[in-house]
Amino acid sequence: MDKLIIEGDHRLKGEVTISGAKNALLPILAATLLTEEPCNIEGAPRLRDTQTMIKILRSLGKSVDFQDGRICVRHTKKTRWIADYRLVSTMRASFCVLGPLLAKLKKAKVSLPGGCVIGVRPVDLHLKGLSSLGADIDINSGYVLGKTKGLCGNHIFLEGEFGSSVLATANVMMAGTLASGTTTIEGAACEPEVVDLAEFLIKMGAEIKGAGTPIIEIRGKKLLYGATHKIIPDRIEAGTFMIASLITKGELKLKNVNWRHFGAVIDKLEQAGAWIKKSEHCLVIKARAQLKPVNITTLPYPGFPTDMQAQMMALMAVTPGVSIITEKVYPDRFMHIAELNRMGTRIKREGPYAIVEGVKRLSGAKVMASDLRASASLILAGLAARAKTQILRIYHLERGYDNLEGKLRSVGAKIRRHKV
């Protein structure tokens, strides 16, 4: 297992190119199961999760090559319909092969993904949606067993108590593309990654209207074709670098961004006092003067993204004043608080609320990453801390950031990886 060692207190200055979006790529790779024709996905980030989804596609009979950011998926005669626990349990997103397998093969056996440190993460909405399309769903020994004589379109309300579900929307939308008749998803997730998936499906010949709104209509087809598609930029990586710029009082130019995908993050950082200049595919950000505390509530898109909550907490932790962070998507997504407090932050959790009292300086410390975005939060705090910070268990980071430490080093961060 590796660890990262960061020597803090260095301003970041320079240019960073943002990679393709993990959360767009993963369901799009699952969508290649809907056709026997070749698919080419460009702008794919080099992540552990990318490799996991590629392994799952190979276990389901696809031939997959990945080089220079391009993933080529080809059909083989060895089609399988079982996605096993060994792979699915390491990455929740693999559950979104269920819809495509049911639609294309009319049967599927997919391991339940289990929970993770950010929450229980149920799949009831996925199963409700797919059952509404006529799938017989059974749960046995930790697996979902699904079968159907042929999926039929239906009108489905897909919101849960925490609002819309990104991957449940993806699963049902993909299943609807080969169902007979029309499927309407009411309470659909509106995230840009859902829109990117819909655009890929439309290139494959699917008929989809309303992606990006709470009502998506899919008119089923008999067949889908191969397609080529370039993944949208990763808005969470972009937001992470925006905070890296502010927390080190530096100035960064981000290239390959679509700033229209993260208006809530830009709005909050401008409220806090950041200077932000946007152009077509770039964004420049720096801290004007002393930042001010802002309150954050995470919500489904277009609200403030839960995947930026931990990173924003690190910034507020060194911003004089008090800010309140309310986590409405995953109320338990606060594993990073204890580790940040080891670095001298003053953060108190009260249920789904974190009360953050900004401090002047952080001290470096040995801390432990617990999940993907918590890892990013600890790195951001380490960049601002005096002296050295050591971050253990950084395998979490590699799941969702493409060479984060290399990109940070290229703009002046003193950060290096050590074998433990």
Please identify every residue annotated as catalytic: 116
* Residue with smaller CB distance to ligand EPZ, 22 or 261: 22
215 with 27: CB under 8 angstroms? no
Q: Which stretch binds ligand EPZ (CB under 6 A): 119-127, 285-293, 312-320, 356-364?
A: 119-127
Asked whether 50 and 89 are in contact (CB, 8 A), the reply is no
Sole binder of ligand EPZ in the list 63, 86, 115, 121 (CB under 6 A): 121
Could you tell me how many residues of this chain bind ligand EPZ (CB under 6 A)? 27
Q: Residues, the chain, total?
A: 420
Q: What region does 201 belong to: left with phi over 0, alpha with psi -120 to 50, or beta?
A: alpha
**What sign has the CA pseudo-torsion 182, 163, 122, 308?**
positive
Residue with tokens 């080093």: 409
Shortest distance in whole angstroms from residue 330 CB to ligand EPZ: 5
**List 148, 306, 309, 370, residue binding ligand EPZ (CB under 6 A):** 306
Among 85, 162, 225, 275, binds ligand EPZ (CB under 6 A): 162
Say whether residue 196 binds ligand EPZ (CB under 6 A): no
Q: Contacting ligand EPZ (CB under 6 A), which of 23, 323, 345, 370?
A: 23
Residue 92 touching ligand EPZ (CB under 6 A)? yes
- Give the nearest distance from C-beta 395 to ligand EPZ in angstroms: 14
**Phi/psi at 247 (nearest 5 deg)?**
-70, -20
> What SS3 class is residue 399?
helix
Q: Does residue 73 contact residue 38 with C-beta atoms inside 8 Å?
A: yes
* 134 contributes a contact to ligand EPZ by CB under 6 A: no
**From candidates 154, 179, 400, 407, binder to ligand EPZ by CB under 6 A:** 400
Helix axes 166-176, 98-105, angle to 10 degrees: 10
Q: Which is nearer to ligand EPZ, 193 or 199 (by Cβ)?
A: 193
Q: Does 124 bind ligand EPZ (CB under 6 A)?
A: yes
Distance CA 29, CA 31 (A): 5
Look at phi and psi of residue 134 and say left if phi exceeds 0, alpha if psi is from -120 to 50, else beta: left
- Tell me which residue has tokens 């390491």: 90
Residues lying near ligand EPZ in the complex (CB under 6 A) are found at 22-23, 26, 92-93, 119, 121-126, 160, 162, 165-168, 189, 193, 306-307, 329-330, 372-373, 400
